[in-house]
Structure 1
Amino acid sequence: MRFTKFTLNRFDMVLIMQSIQGVGISLKHQHFQEFMNHKPDVPWLEIHTENFFSQASTSSKYLAKIRQDYPISAHCVGMSLGSAAINCPIREQHLHHIKSTVEWLQPGLISDHLSWSVSQGGHYLPDLLPIPLTEEAFTIVANNIKQAQDILQRQILVENPSSYLTYVDSPITEWQFLSSLAEETGCGLLLDVNNIYVSAHNHHFDSLTYLNNMPLSAVKEIHLAGFSTEIVEGKELYIDTHGHRVCDDVWLLYEQVIKRFGALPTLIEWDTNIPDLAVLLEEKSKAEAIITKVESIEKSSLIANTVNGQS
């Protein structure tokens, strides 16, 4: 089966992106009531799409009310974009569940990961598993992205994963792989800064080299999160747990991201050890302060250059 490259005219893209701006946070059921009662000052919220497949569920009923006041971004974990399973009914069924959710939720952005979770036998594995970065894998992932965009009739964003192992046969760098996917399929990219930091530590590459090789026009959203550490075979391994505050080094890396890509929609992502809402709002304020700092420096530099040019 052939799938087409997804195209979105500039006007439609502007309309979609208008609703998702600034620094948002993950929406968790622990905070539903606070959003209902107090409407905290947050530009937008992101949900895990799979948690809202049933529109009749209690969670979906809360979300239907909350979305009246907040733009929503839909982050998926089950598209299995890296799956090599052919004619897999369970994967296609999952995509149609996502489509149904997207139709009533009307999210500003839709995203999933560069990973796989569906086996050839049609079994779903409860994790985001890594793929080999080869030409063969590229063709598989590109076709899966095109299929997802055909079904959803929306552009999807593909997120760079956190990584704890690499395949012996992976001749393509991750940034080359993702850049080529955006060019081939018309998808956008979701840049997870914490994942870059975690993977750079685990696999000994330079985070800034990764950032500087990502295409400016393809990156549409940024994620920030915390990680934990474990000692494995005598070595410290960083684990992307989404259960802690953003670390200082990731904040520094985020500043470089804003300098390169501009003030793209940014998410404070938190999925485990859910804290009080106030903690997420504090992290949101830190991200906003970095954006303000970078924009202020750039404005001052522009003014200085203009004055010098007139001298």
Structure 2
Amino acid sequence: MFRSEHHQALSAAVGVGLRHPHYQDALSETAGVDFVEVHSENFFAPAGATRDFIRAVSERYPISLHGTSLGLGSAEPINTDYIQRLKNLTDDIRPFAISDHASFSWSRLNGRRLHAGDLLPLPFIEEAVNIMAENIDRVQQILGQQLLLENLVSYIQFKQSPMSEMEFLTKVAEQSGCALLLDINNLLVNAHNQKADDPLQTAKQWIDELPIDLVKEFHLAGYTPVAPGQLIIDDHSQAVNEECWALFDYALDHFSPQTTLIEWDNQLPDWQRLQQEAERARRHILQHVQRQNISGGGSHGLPTSVTA
């Protein structure tokens, strides 16, 4: 059985993505966040300053590891060295969650293994389900911990996809035993870029397709506004916008509160502003609980701070 009890303990926790400009803030200040997320690959060095830092962070906060390079949908086998480095890191800092994306990255050209350096989209076909489920199972067996699979922003759509993205993700999760990390902002970006008449309503319909017990984490983020009809780039450069907050409320009602992360990677604000975004997410969770109590739907429990 893969370790998942940490998820349950943090089910209503709110955290932030910890990026380099805020490293010292995170260690020196009393933070109003329940956990931090870091990019796994930044801490693969087995010794030195980065490993010392992440150990210090792990003594102060629960940590979620978020990967960008596993390429779980790759037909080319996942790099063994990568998995071993990830296992070394997880054994060292004991993250409560490990996640990566529903994408492919690894391929082979002229006999050489290559990494795309990006999150490339997949066709939603049975073959891709089987490949991704097999790769996820392999990684979970090595790590001894359940993975979270994040939905992707895709700037193209494959004509030969016979199933929806949500059906695809559900099949992968059920076949592999992983859970889902639902990026709320990614749903909206895709709905806008696919020229949906009502992007918010379309995103809500996608949420309705997912079984309520598969989603274990939410990501919230913002993007640089563009003129109507222009392509939106998922740049994580702004505060969470009102449309995303509205969809978050809908997701809370559909799935119940789950671990929630504020992502902000570019044009970073100061540490205090980032904590304000986390506090707003916490207020939305509290409001959800109040709505449930008023409607007689019962309480999912108030979010509480946690310690490592």
**TM value normalised by structure 1:** 0.88
- CA displacement 1:25-46 (0-9 Å, x = unmatched): 0111211211222121211110
* Residue matched to 2:237: 243
What are the equivalent positions in structure 2 for 1:77-116 lying under 5 Å apart?
A: 77-86=68-77, 91-116=79-104
Return the alpha-carbon distance in structure 1 between the equivalents of residues 10 and 167 of structure 2: 30
Structure 1 residue 99: Cα displacement: 0.9
Residue number in structure 2 paired with 1:169: 160
What CA distance in whole angstroms lies between the structure 1 residues aligned with 2:124 and 2:223?
24
Paired amino acid for 1:74: L
CA shift at 1:72, angstroms? 0.4
1:212 aligns with 2:203: no
Q: Which secondary structure does the structure 1 equivalent of 2:231 belong to?
A: strand
Q: Is the 8 A contact 1:29 1:59 kept in 2?
A: no
Q: Which secondary structure does the structure 2 equivalent of 1:133 belong to?
A: coil
Deviations 1:54-100 (CA, angstroms, capped at 9, x unpaired): 132323212211211110011011110111114x6xx1211111111
Question: 2:124: which partner in 1?
Answer: 133
**Contact persistence 2:10–2:259 (CA under 8 A):** no
Amino acid at match of 2:105: S
Q: How does 1:21-32 map to 2 (within 5 A)?
A: 21-32=12-23
Task: Select the residue among 271, 274, 278 that pairs with 1:280.
Answer: 274
- Counterpart of 2:273, as a letter, is V
8 A Cα contact 1:229 1:237, kept in partner: no
Kindly indicate whether residue 168 of structure 2 is the aligned counterpart of residue 180 of structure 1. no
Q: Runs of 4+ in structure 1 displaced over 3 angstroms?
A: none
Assess if the C-alpha contact under 8 Å between 2:4 and 2:145 holds in 1: no
Measured after TM superposition, the shift of residue 204 of structure 1 is: 3.8
Query: Equivalences for 1:1-311 in 2 at 5 Å?
Result: 7-8=1-2, 12-19=3-10, 21-86=12-77, 91-120=79-108, 121-205=112-196, 206-229=202-225, 235-302=229-296
Q: How does the TM-score come out when normalised to structure 2?
A: 0.89
Note the alpha carbon deviations across 1:130-178, whole angstroms, 9 max, x for none: 0111111111111111111122121100000011111121111000001
Distance, in Å, in 2 between the alignment partners of 1:135 and 1:19 is 33
Contact 2:130/2:172, CA 8 A, preserved across alignment:
no
Question: Are the counterparts in 2 of residues 20 and 108 from structure 1 also a CA contact under 8 Å?
Answer: no
**Gaps in structure 1 of 5+ consecutive residues:** 1-6, 305-311
2:265 aligned counterpart, secondary structure: coil
Distance 1:191 1:145 in 2: 17
Question: CA contact under 8 A between 2:72 and 2:136: conserved in structure 1?
Answer: yes
Asked if the contact 1:22/1:265 (under 8 Å) is kept, the reply is yes
Q: Number of aligned pairs?
A: 290
Could you give the per-residue CA deviations for residues 95-137 of structure 1, whole angstroms, max 9, x where no partner exists?
1111111110100000000001111231111110101111111
Q: Larger RCO: Structure 1 or Structure 2 (Cα < 8 Å, ≥ 6 residues apart)?
A: 2
CA contact (8 A) 2:195 2:229 kept: no
Matched position secondary structure for 1:236:
coil
- Which amino acid is 2:87 matched to? K
Name which of structure 1's ranges 217-226 and 25-34 shifts more when overlaid on structure 2: 25-34
Gaps of 5+ in 2: 197-201, 299-308
1:124–1:230 distance in 2 versus 1, CA, 3 Å: farther
- Give 1:248 deviation, angstroms: 0.8
1:230 Cα deviation from its structure 2 partner: 5.3
Q: Give 1:235 deviation, angstroms.
A: 3.6
The equivalent of 2:304 in structure 1 is none
Give the drift of 1:16: 4.8
Stretch moving more, 18-27 or 96-105 = 18-27
Q: Which has the larger radius of gyration?
A: 1
* In structure 2, C-alpha distance between the alignment counterparts of 1:17 and 1:73, rounded to whole Å: 14
Higher mean C-alpha deviation, range 18-27 or range 149-158: 18-27
Distance in 2 between residues matched to 1:44 and 1:157, nearest whole Å? 16
RMSD of equivalent CA atoms: 1.9
